[in-house]
Structure 1
């Protein structure tokens, strides 16, 4: 009995001695890998700033930004179960929708070789992107994408969701423009911009981002390069009817907007175009508390980060919430929005829906 008592006392002492170590482990921030896009895309820089702010304030969760080939890569990588409980990622509403229903089909296998049948949960919105849903040219004879049959068209790479994939979908399902009736070239943004300047292509995609009120516009370096040319830059819009056709065909939620004149460089007239909504997202198995802490950290830090990077300049609660719904939001994110008093705002905005 004495031996048993001594052993029990020893075990108790060891347990007490281990308490500070256990407490230290419990207090160690949870590190969350965050899949982004190629270096220089914007989020790689803005989310590094967010990581630093989270570390400075002692947040219980820290995001670890990771450069990737892009959003098409991210959605396929997130099909791997090893990411489901520990990784968040940058994506767009339309990327999730296409991966759910169209991956591996004749319509999309060029861009998505297989389906990713996961209804990912949204954490917060970060940017509206327009590239691939309007075009630019120096040719005054091109008035509409319908005029592009037989033309040389510079689009982004097949792994780039907006630059290379959505532009093809808009052209084909909105206007009937395909590689069979036009010279479509998939190039890097820098290369296609230079080819447009050199006259090697007739029309091309370019980029800008914004937020729901269109108060703040993020002009991309390629668009700034076109602005600097002495040639008369012309914007080629995409009609609401074309956006509606694409959405009806694919079950997507491209948003149609008419952008007032003067919002873009050398934009003399209103521009009809489409947008996708960019989000941070995670698998449904991603821990609720971690999702909650991520959203709360963004809500706390975003106002002061407006002065640190252009992507944070467009931040607002409305941008975070636009597109969220009871069906698509992560439960931890919703808990944060309810606590912040913001959740009722989602009723004002069209929700991101997932195809059956």
Structure 2
């Protein structure tokens, strides 16, 4: 009887382990994709659909969140979720997190790259033709995104502070991307943040949804450039931004090329994510990169070469790195 009991217990333990392993394999990967209307939200949802409609070995589920900063804070507050989360982040956000700079209370680790999907670029626009340069905004009100949004709020604030030297001299309202655009059209702010996403390979540009709302109003727009020198001053503080030129006629009212900044926007994973999981996700993205355009216009800016554009291989998740080497992209 004792022998049979041992056999029974051993078999039960093996079955429990097998079931746990199967459940872990079947458990979907979370994508906290950012606020509705942003590129991260749109492409995160597209990635979920692609994972469901292809023979991918990993399934993903996207969800709306307040923003990329919020995502990193939540992941580091609940580290057990790191192994099952693919989160959007940017190079600028990674720098701020690792150095414990605002909006982080102290240093926290940043994710490793899985795939870059766009270069994000934003700037200020006004309906007031008398506002032509930064000094004209002194004492005025501008509408930005929500406080946790790195591209639509935090980085513009850094340029206003370090590049323009106008910290505290401009009234900033944190409205959200869609709300800021509407506030501009309603006349409750003097300027608002707009922008879009760029393809670094083919030099193409796509306006964000809220930017299209402003353009679609038919009102005359006046764009306020950050200025090359202001961007250089901000980059000199260590923020991971890059210089970019917004081409003439990219949006209505832009009658000449305009200097701007970009921040690479990517999906990332922490080292806690198993290498095989990161490999399968990356392989799925590489193999189906052409499908993203079927779900959203921003997908047209994606290509296999752009997925690791300008990235140090040391910052790529080991599983993703294996997929890129296997595909001949590294």
Alignment of 1:71-220 (within 5 A): 71-80=68-77, 81-103=79-101, 108=102, 111-112=103-104, 114-131=105-122, 134-179=123-168, 181-213=169-201, 215-220=203-208
Shift of 1:176: 1.0
Question: Given the superposition, is the C-alpha separation of residues 139 and 22 from structure 1 closer, same or farther in structure 2, using an over 3 Å criterion?
Answer: closer
Matched, 1:263 2:250: yes
Aligned equivalents of 2:89 and 2:109: distance in 1? 13
Aligned equivalents of 2:82 and 2:183: distance in 1? 41
Name the count of aligned residue pairs.
327
Gaps of 5+ in 2: none
SS in 2 for 1:262: coil
Q: Which of 215, 218, 225 is equivalent to 1:237?
A: 225
TM-score of the two chains, using structure 1 as the length reference: 0.83
SS in 2 for 1:267: coil
Corresponding residue for residue 247 of structure 1:
235
Question: Given the superposition, is the C-alpha separation of residues 204 and 43 from structure 1 closer, same or farther in structure 2, using an over 3 Å criterion?
Answer: closer
SS in 2 for 1:306: helix
Q: Tell me if the contact between 1:212 and 1:318 (Cα under 8 Å) persists in the aligned partners.
A: no
Q: Which of 57, 60, 64 is equivalent to 1:63?
A: 60
Corresponding residue for residue 350 of structure 1:
none
Q: Deviations over 1:269-292 (max 9, x none)?
A: 111111111011111222111111
Q: Tell me if the contact between 1:216 and 1:313 (Cα under 8 Å) persists in the aligned partners.
A: no
Q: Tell me if the contact between 1:119 and 1:284 (Cα under 8 Å) persists in the aligned partners.
A: no
Question: Given the superposition, is the C-alpha separation of residues 115 and 233 from structure 1 closer, same or farther in structure 2, using an over 3 Å criterion?
Answer: same
Q: Tell me if the contact between 2:38 and 2:208 (Cα under 8 Å) persists in the aligned partners.
A: no
Aligned equivalents of 2:31 and 2:57: distance in 1? 16
Q: Deviations over 1:290-335 (max 9, x none)?
A: 1111100011122133223222221112221113213211111110
Shift of 1:43: 3.4
Shift of 1:169: 0.8
Corresponding residue for residue 304 of structure 2:
317
